[in-house]
Amino acid sequence: MSEDADDANADGRVPDVEVSWSRFTETYVVVLERFIRGVEVATATVFAALFAIGVADLLLQIVQSARTGRITDPLVVIGFIDTGLLLLIIVEVYQTVLAYVQESETRSIVRLIIYTGVIAMVRKAIIFRTGEYQTTQDALFAAVAYTIIIFGLVALLLTERVYGETRLIESE
């Protein structure tokens, strides 16, 4: 009989091989989790930078519009609102990424995603222009779709709040 056969368990496995494979997989998982954490932090940094650039751009747009006198034009003001809401979406996505990095509760992450969706759809509703569609029927379909999505997101938000409050009461 060989020495390997003597070292094998009754089921034919060699303990040293199992231990080293287990150590390898544990080490690999730790390295992989660190990598993912690093990518999450890098993503949060990118969103923070995009927000800062967006705020600077919005301020520049406001100053330029004030200088040219177009600041009272309703379309220009709607453009400011559009940019501001886009910045809020960036902040919500940033907060969602941070929630992942901080390993927050799933409910809080879902809530952030719903808030982001609501802001995005409100933004779409504010900048909605029927003239951007080829036909009035296309514009109507888009308006109905936006409305359904907004109501769906609000229903999700209300459901999450009611369900969340119920869970808090039950846990006390």
Domain assignment present for residue 19? The answer is: no
Q: pLDDT tens digits for 95-136?
A: 888 888 887 787 788 888 888 888 888 888 888 888 889 999
> What confidence tens digit (pLDDT) does each residue in 139-150 have?
999 999 999 999
Task: Please indicate, yes or no, whether the overall pTM of this predicted structure exceeds 0.95.
Answer: no
Split at pLDDT 50, 70, 90, the class of 167 is: low
Amino acid at 165: E
Q: Which range marks the domain in which residue 109 is found?
A: 44-127
Structural domains in the chain (count): 1
Residue 86 CA, chain-centre distance (Å), reads 13
Q: Are 118 and 157 in contact (CB under 8 A)?
A: yes
| More reliable by pLDDT, 167 or 75 | 75
Does any domain span residue 55? yes
Does the pLDDT of residue 2 top 80, yes or no? no
Is 118 a domain residue?
yes
Residue 50 CA to residue 76 CA, distance in Å, equals 22
Q: Would you say residue 1 has pLDDT above 50?
A: no
Q: How far apart are CA 115 and CA 138, in angstroms?
A: 27
Q: Which of 5-14, 25-34, 105-114, 119-128 is least confident?
A: 5-14
Residue 34 lies in a domain: no
Q: How many CB atoms lie within 10 A of CB 111?
A: 19
Alpha helices in 72-135 (DSSP H): 74-101, 106-126
Contact yes or no for 106/89 (Cβ under 8 A): no
